[in-house]
């Protein structure tokens, strides 16, 4: 099969099409979810994910570095977003007792409230842009297929 540059490649069309779908579809769906949140006057999905992860370990704090690993965000992106979330009063950041260079993060009551406000909009967007388009069987198949691509 000829590639875009006129060179022969060894990938078959189903693999190329699958790869393109894997890359493009999540971006498209996430963009529509982001639009739903924005339309409702809520912060971005990144804020939701950050608040959710901080809340999962609550009442214990989580280090920013550990949060970064859970979310797979680049450090500079996470630092910028954390600053904004803290400025909004949704999290507290304190120097770590174990390592003064590290920051321990906890969710505030306002952060919990915001998380609870965001979920219904996020859930509706998941239903509208994902769940309504796949049967339960298809969703399970998708999950199974995608898990094959993960490094375990």
pTM: 0.84
- pLDDT for 1: 56
| Distance from C-alpha of 32 to C-alpha of 81, rounded to nearest angstrom | 20
- pLDDT for 45: 94
Q: Provide the terminal-to-terminal Cα distance of the chain, rounded to the nearest Å.
A: 32
CA distances from 106 to 20, 53, 79, 91, 121 (A): 38, 10, 15, 6, 24
- pLDDT for 46: 93
Q: Which residue has the higher pLDDT, 110 or 73?
A: 110
The per-residue pLDDT of the chain, averaged, comes to 91
Asked whether the predicted pLDDT for residue 4 surpasses 70, the reply is no
Show me where the domains of the chain are located: 13-131
* CATH no., domain 13-131: 1.10.10.10
């Amino acid at each position: 099969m000829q590639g875009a540059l006129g060179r022969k490649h060894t990938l078959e069309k189903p693999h190329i099409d699958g790869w393109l779908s894997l890359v493009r579809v999540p971006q498209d769906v996430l963009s529509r979810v982001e639009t739903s949140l924005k339309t409702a006057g809520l912060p971005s999905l990144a804020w939701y994910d950050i608040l959710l992860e901080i809340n999962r370990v609550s009442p214990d704090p989580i280090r920013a570095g550990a949060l970064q690993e859970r979310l797979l965000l680049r450090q500079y992106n996470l630092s910028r977003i954390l600053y904004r979330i803290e400025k909004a009063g949704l999290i507290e950041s304190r120097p770590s007792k174990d390592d003064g260079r590290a920051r321990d993060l906890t969710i505030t009551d306002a952060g919990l409230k915001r998380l609870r406000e965001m979920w219904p909009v996020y859930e509706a967007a998941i239903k509208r842009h994902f769940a309504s388009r796949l049967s339960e069987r298809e969703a399970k198949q998708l999950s199974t297929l995608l898990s094959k691509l993960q490094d375990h």
